[in-house]
Structure 1
């Protein structure tokens, strides 16, 4: 089914295994197995193309009808025979047909499609031809090997290799997608496409084509992506791909090529979602063969599901209601027999078929879906069960689900309607609390917040004097206190709360749990800005413990906590821990590309920026901005834009595009989900001050951690003479003394050593920085040590250190600052020196080089001495491994 170029497999083990089979002169063949649409035919085409063949010598098509006919698959080539009863005659005729193929040095390849339907007689003929080295046999089969089948017996031949084509990895999915769009695909979108397709190349192709047609795959050119993506980058703006004719045709073809048992299993999993192996075994649903073939996957909780989410969505729409009812009845019988409880996905299936459930049952199922983080399923249950209209608790639950989906305006509408009609103090307290959460996620609409608080206050004042009312009054006062702190943290020119104010809330056992979480988030913001990263991480860990058992809180705050953890780990210089954190969230979760991934890319960009990979950081930040426009649960979109501008200022702006784009209104992006952007968030304001666009009367010094970043970058360009008496250097040292973490300690040491003339401390500091993965600090320390050695006349040690610095710069893709670049230029060879080195590398001795260049041997020796000094080497043999930088100096 897959028709595009097989770049996605060109480095795979399957490709190289099959290439070996067709290339070896010995008799051999291959049985290529895999699920429908996995690209088996494309794999064969790619291998044949690599050896210069456009078509096989013979292509045979098996089918269930021909499976029972002797020599059925070979019949198109046996017309000259009056009878096909004698194997020898058949063998002779097929040899005759093959002999008519033009002579070639390439092997005669016979490809058998759908080989699982191969008849025994044809199998015998083909095996004999392979054994006689007349052909290379490639048999393509669906699923996995059945030993008792004809093709299973063929595979037992020692001449046959069995190759199982597995689903594509993310990199392979990306290769297929980019070959179709003719551009670069956003990393997050590549992961989303991989998840939706299950790595099936046919689904990848159909998904890309459908997304382009439906306008869901767009090329973003708004920001500068740097020289690696001068034309911008392609982004999948949502994963709700419509089931068009292309996708339905593909799913229909998969169903047609599958057995009855396989079709039945896929339909069950499409309608009811993942199912336990117990249920599948009880209902005699086939799943093991398809799991081995990559069409089905086993989920972490031990259930079995369709590998492609897109496959499930499309197939679900295609199944007739009568067929759906039959499968539902089979499933019900299995669950009743086993005593298995109704799952959320199966309850939705029942609701769609008209089954009757109580509101309590539906709410319980929807809650279980929410507990597992499947907000889409929870929302479908809310709609199918009409929970918002069934009870006050149902309305509040639906608002929770909408919050989890980032649909804050819809949640607000439900809550406003609820508070206008509800009477129960407990439920009204929850509703008002949710309203404030909604408003804080929609931006800094302070008048609206005050209105809600006032409305809440007026309501509690009219309550009767009883225990339940007293709690409602206390909750309102807690909310008022929390909102006051929130406004001071997230408002321009407001006085930032003292640590004691946060501690007062955190240490109050009566303060509501969600208020405790929000207080810790704000406290973590404050400590992060002040450079107290260890304290900020401890606060974040406390908040993580609070949200661990609360699905709603996880949805609303986990991404924010991910950002705060990653930010502080990187600012501390805990680079390994930061990478482990990002790996945990990268490509993960049911809301891939919506919940965490924009923040993951943002943090990857920050890691690049802090390690001097400015050009890579430009692309990362631009990619993060593009993703965060469509889902920003951490409320860092404006910060990402400002960091993008910062990366360009730091040396990455070599692409096309504006240096800084202000994002004024969400109406520019009607597809935006989550937070409408707020310039008043503390990280947005700090990053804005760093790029010279502070808000109100704020200054860079109001945000110490950003000030440290800016000063560290600024002073790194300056020579030792320029640093003497520098106010920036003095201020940087003050900040580093106050801030926590390895990075600050290394920066402080580097700042102190810059004022001293000895090179050895700088050299030792560089190695210490490298051990901490602080490569940018290490490279600058090496460069400054090398310059000191050079000034002291020790050019050989200078060359040794600069060689190491150059190697680190290349390995880590660092964009050297002005100072490091000037230092590295000390190792550049002149044109004459480069010419002599090239001749030396070719094997000529000094006398021979002198004759070639018509100069004296002493001149050659002098040039080589200077080359050895620049490179920090002592022998001619070391030129082979030296990093040579041929300059243009004459």
Structure 2
């Protein structure tokens, strides 16, 4: 296992590599000690360091093993071939023999020797002592590679403490490094959420990452479509070579330590006091020191395994009888606190319930139903379905069947879930439905609405769903008590569903009026159902307000929905995608890009299973963020796997929007990938999604078509779409479409964009307003000033376009000096502008190219030559040389020699300026 792709690129270890090489070259040190867990990349790092120093040091490799560890000087036997049996009895003679060997090697190679000792955790004590003596002598450099907790390297560790060896501890790879590594292995773009999941499952260990990649491919859980990769399910690692590694790790621990590892793996998380009581506190301390167990700084000092894969594999290795025995010991010492569980403990509660079922225990129906609701609420439908199916007591069967339907809906089994809910409602009408409670009625109605939306049902059907469940609630209430009325929370829930129908059909005017009434309730939610209803209402209101351009108010309601989500003890996690999309849209339209970056980071750090269900959703907004900034290449790289993931699972109906976005970006950058055809797929989408995003999707598809036109701007369709958005009051949508109009060359829309953004909230709108006003005015100075505003707002493409308009203005008016000065400004500021350029600048940019003779003259000028010197060098007249110099200055946009070097170094003759970088 190495950390490199096919081109031997190092991922995520650049800092450590630089440190290793610099330490080996430090004359005050004798070498380095590289420590880290198995598979973390120690050997790869050492190999790369040795390669980098190959012209200075000659590397020689030895490698420890369990067999060699039992032999005196076993790891150094290669260098002791000339030693006699008597000499092998004397440590001093052995040292002299090894030193003499390396002295000969140094004389032969003419370079200092570098002894690389891999797997030093298996070194024998005699070899460790000899290596210590070699290091202290300074006759060669040592690079020792070992696991962090290895008793036999204590002498070498003491050299590190004394400052003779540099100690470098390798930690896990960063999430981004894991992503780059996966892309290299797969040979194509990978969904960011999928690499995040692999990073978290592997603990950032590259060996484990590679095993998971291979296992997921074999299981067809990591799939490729149109050259892009994404995970459809979490990979199962219980029959990989990692199992043998874990077995070996367990075999190396004491029985008490194995007991601790098994107990914590089976429980998921336990208070330290409980683990110490049922196992052994000394073993707990030992495992913590060795980095296998971690004690969290929470109220109970909870213990859990550091490496997630270890827990999963250990659970698979423990026999059922042994598991039941351990569970009995835990329960004898530990009774979990009843009542609401903090969000971070929800997983532990679900694991304990799962553990009980694994052991064959029959749990109470109420406990199972509660666990099923908790699992479904946490967005974990696999467990939710299992727990609900285990409910057999008749009074709880109806509620359990509702939870099964909820779980199936979350997993995408829409037909079964819809049919089951309809059967349950029909049972109420026929008088056979029993066991209903308010929570089940509420969950059934909301799940029915979700199913309608996911199966692309008409908005007119949603009020019918509300009516059906309202009638069912009335029937249940009348049976439970004479003259009983429908519970208030069920009635309130159906009101939310009716408003959701207005949002689905695009009637935002009526929807916002009714939503304003529904969100007036400021008191804390009194029940789970209240919280769910209010969360949906605030989320819908945020969606409507953001689409209508009131992004400040939209953000407030999106935040209210997020607060309800976070305060629900993990029971509303299934709404994570719903809330995220509303927050992301508000942040995107208001130009709060840094906050959107932070929101995406929080989503990647959230519940692990949501990275599968929401992977494509997150990918779309990661890409949209980059494309709004003008980084079309980066946006497209993220969009390609996101589109394919959405074809598989699209809970927020974003596929048409993603197709349009990808088609436009691919067309503009001319990348030649299958994404170039995505724009044409927008009209054929089997569903349209939200109205405002459907208009935007069509606009991106139209912009892609306009960008391909060879007959000048063909943006008439864009203008029509902008008018439709304006008529519907969708100001944010209109803003996006008008920006596209200008991007494809329809500058006649600049006036309307300036008018629209004049009172629009947010930094993005402010930058677009300055840009549109400048373009409409035809004033190049205002265009350059607008570019500065755009840079501050991170609208890099708009900044380049604005300068580009100024460049064209000066070219059209014959002011070539000013034109070329701006071209050079663009070149010099490429890094600040995120490397963005635009295609229509290329006719002007080619004017700045110097001839070969002009390049030669510049090089002479920079070396200090005078015009007279240059004339003599080329056998030219001095006047001719001065004419060359004048033309060079004009091309570079400068007027004095002092500016020559900076302007010339900014010029890149080989750079293709007709691309979007």
TM-score relative to the length of structure 2: 0.81
Q: 1:66 to 1:416 in 2, by over 3 A?
A: same
Residue in structure 1 matching 2:358, options 347, 352, 355: 352
Q: 1:828 to 1:51 in 2, by over 3 A?
A: closer
Q: Which residue of 2 aligns with 1:227?
A: none
Residue in structure 2 matching 1:706, options 733, 736, 739: 733
Contact 1:486 1:522 in 2 (8 A): yes
Q: Map Cα deviations across residues 267-288 of structure 1 (whole Å, 9 max, x no partner).
A: 3333221334444454326456
Contact 1:275 1:304 in 2 (8 A): yes
Counterpart CA distance in 2 for 1:373 and 1:117 is 45
Aligned runs of 1:8-407 on 2, under 5 Å?
8=10, 11-23=13-25, 28-52=30-54, 57=60, 59=62, 61=64, 63=66, 66=69, 71=73, 77=80, 80-82=84-86, 84-95=88-99, 103-116=108-121, 118-144=123-149, 149=154, 152-153=157-158, 155-221=160-226, 232-241=227-236, 243-256=238-251, 263-282=258-277, 283-284=280-281, 286=283, 295-296=292-293, 303-329=302-328, 331-332=330-331, 335=334, 343-363=349-369, 381-382=387-388, 391-401=397-407
Counterpart CA distance in 2 for 1:139 and 1:818 is 53
Residue in structure 1 matching 2:690, options 657, 681, 689: 681
Q: Map Cα deviations across residues 75-122 of structure 1 (whole Å, 9 max, x no partner).
A: 784773147443223323444665686932454444445544544433
Q: Which residue of 2 aligns with 1:226?
A: none
Contact 1:614 1:814 in 2 (8 A): no
Contact 1:753 1:762 in 2 (8 A): yes
Q: Which residue of 1 aligns with 2:445?
A: 433
Counterpart CA distance in 2 for 1:543 and 1:289 is 45
Q: Which residue of 2 aligns with 1:486?
A: 500
Per-residue deviation, 1:433: 1.6
- Stretch of structure 1 that moved more, 52-61 or 800-809: 52-61
Is 1:422 matched with 2:417? no
Counterpart CA distance in 2 for 1:334 and 1:514 is 36
Residue in structure 1 matching 2:655, options 637, 647, 655: 637
Counterpart CA distance in 2 for 1:468 and 1:800 is 86
Contact 2:409 2:447 in 1 (8 A): no
Per-residue deviation, 1:204: 1.5
Is 1:875 matched with 2:896? yes
Q: 1:110 to 1:776 in 2, by over 3 A?
A: closer
Q: Which has the higher contact order (CA 8 A, sep 6+)?
A: 1
Counterpart CA distance in 2 for 1:860 and 1:292 is 75
Contact 2:454 2:651 in 1 (8 A): no
Q: 1:851 to 1:206 in 2, by over 3 A?
A: same
Contact 1:109 1:137 in 2 (8 A): yes
Q: Which residue of 2 aligns with 1:671?
A: none
Q: 1:275 to 1:26 in 2, by over 3 A?
A: same
- Indicate the SS of the match to 2:505: coil
- Indicate the SS of the match to 1:497: helix
Q: 1:2 to 1:825 in 2, by over 3 A?
A: closer
Q: 1:887 to 1:457 in 2, by over 3 A?
A: closer
Q: Map Cα deviations across residues 600-636 of structure 1 (whole Å, 9 max, x no partner).
A: 3322322232233333333332232123334433332
Per-residue deviation, 1:198: 0.9
Counterpart CA distance in 2 for 1:3 and 1:805 is 37
Per-residue deviation, 1:127: 1.7
Contact 1:2 1:205 in 2 (8 A): no
Contact 1:621 1:644 in 2 (8 A): yes
Contact 1:611 1:814 in 2 (8 A): no
- Indicate the SS of the match to 2:62: strand
Q: 1:830 to 1:425 in 2, by over 3 A?
A: same
Contact 1:571 1:741 in 2 (8 A): yes
Is 1:884 matched with 2:884? no
Q: Which residue of 2 aligns with 1:674?
A: none
Is 1:611 matched with 2:624? no
Q: 1:868 to 1:250 in 2, by over 3 A?
A: same
Per-residue deviation, 1:359: 3.4
- Indicate the SS of the match to 1:235: strand
Per-residue deviation, 1:683: 3.7
Per-residue deviation, 1:638: 2.2
Q: Which residue of 1 aligns with 2:592?
A: 574
Aligned length: 861
Aligned runs of 1:673-752 on 2, under 5 Å?
678-690=687-699, 691-692=701-702, 699=724, 701=726, 702=728, 703-716=730-743, 718=745, 723=747, 726=748, 728-737=749-758, 739-752=760-773
RMSD value over aligned CA atoms? 4.4
- Stretch of structure 1 that moved more, 305-314 or 400-409: 400-409
Residue in structure 1 matching 2:514, options 497, 501, 505: 501
Q: 1:783 to 1:9 in 2, by over 3 A?
A: closer
Counterpart CA distance in 1 for 2:497 and 2:446 is 13
Contact 2:682 2:698 in 1 (8 A): no
Counterpart CA distance in 1 for 2:416 and 2:284 is 40
Per-residue deviation, 1:203: 0.9
Per-residue deviation, 1:845: 2.9
Contact 1:557 1:634 in 2 (8 A): no
Q: Map Cα deviations across residues 241-267 of structure 1 (whole Å, 9 max, x no partner).
A: 353343423433443455656544433
Q: 1:753 to 1:96 in 2, by over 3 A?
A: closer
Q: 1:326 to 1:16 in 2, by over 3 A?
A: farther
- Stretch of structure 1 that moved more, 341-350 or 770-779: 341-350
Gaps of 5+ in 2: 428-432, 703-716, 913-917
Counterpart CA distance in 2 for 1:81 and 1:524 is 84
Q: Which residue of 2 aligns with 1:520?
A: 538
Contact 1:411 1:438 in 2 (8 A): no
Is 1:781 matched with 2:802? yes
Counterpart CA distance in 2 for 1:292 and 1:171 is 28
- Indicate the SS of the match to 1:422: coil
Contact 1:34 1:293 in 2 (8 A): no
Q: 1:808 to 1:16 in 2, by over 3 A?
A: closer
Q: Which residue of 1 aligns with 2:454?
A: 442
Q: 1:154 to 1:125 in 2, by over 3 A?
A: same
Counterpart CA distance in 2 for 1:387 and 1:823 is 79
- Indicate the SS of the match to 1:472: coil
Contact 2:216 2:235 in 1 (8 A): no
Q: 1:547 to 1:250 in 2, by over 3 A?
A: same
Contact 1:612 1:814 in 2 (8 A): no
Q: Which residue of 1 aligns with 2:478?
A: 464
Per-residue deviation, 1:324: 3.1
Q: 1:60 to 1:791 in 2, by over 3 A?
A: closer
Contact 1:369 1:378 in 2 (8 A): yes
- Indicate the SS of the match to 2:35: strand
Q: 1:250 to 1:783 in 2, by over 3 A?
A: same
Q: Map Cα deviations across residues 626-684 of structure 1 (whole Å, 9 max, x no partner).
A: 23334433332222112222334555555454253537999xxxxxxxxxx63142244
Contact 2:531 2:568 in 1 (8 A): no
Q: Map Cα deviations across residues 796-820 of structure 1 (whole Å, 9 max, x no partner).
A: 5544444333344454445544555
Contact 1:415 1:431 in 2 (8 A): no
- Indicate the SS of the match to 1:629: helix
